[in-house]
């Protein structure tokens, strides 16, 4: 399944790997869980235990890509790099009600 299909399904868990300071400065996406990249390794069980596909994002897509690579190596089967938070937020808001 592609990222677009997962987002369209509405059945996913958003994980924001930005630092808390960035959330305060830039804003957040409703429903996203903040697990900064530096905490992904110690909190991997929290992520891997999700029944839903995982969509990771950050400011640009770089850190979320690193987190996805790590988690895939740890056994994540249904993970996606959502890229940068502002683009992902715009996509989600533009497609509200079309799911």
What pLDDT digit, counting tens, does each position of 27-36 carry? 899 999 999 9
User: Burial letters for 20-53: b for 16+ Cβ neighbours within 10 Å, e otherwise?
Assistant: eebbeeeeebeebeebbbeebeeebeebeeeeeb
What pLDDT digit, counting tens, does each position of 10-58 carry? 999 999 999 999 999 998 999 999 999 999 999 999 999 999 999 999 9
What pLDDT digit, counting tens, does each position of 62-83 carry? 999 999 999 999 999 999 999 9
CA 82, CA 42: separation in Å to the nearest integer?
A: 21
């Amino acid at each position: 399944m592609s990222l677009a299909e997962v987002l369209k399904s509405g059945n996913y868990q958003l994980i924001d790997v930005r630092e808390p300071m960035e959330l305060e400065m830039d804003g957040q996406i409703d429903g996203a869980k903040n697990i900064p990249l530096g905490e992904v390794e110690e909190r991997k069980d929290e992520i891997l235990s999700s029944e839903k596909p995982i969509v990771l994002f950050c400011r640009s897509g770089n850190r979320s890509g690193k987190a996805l690579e790590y988690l895939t190596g740890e056994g994540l089967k249904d993970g996606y790099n959502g890229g940068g938070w502002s683009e992902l937020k715009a996509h989600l808001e533009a497609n509200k009600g079309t799911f």
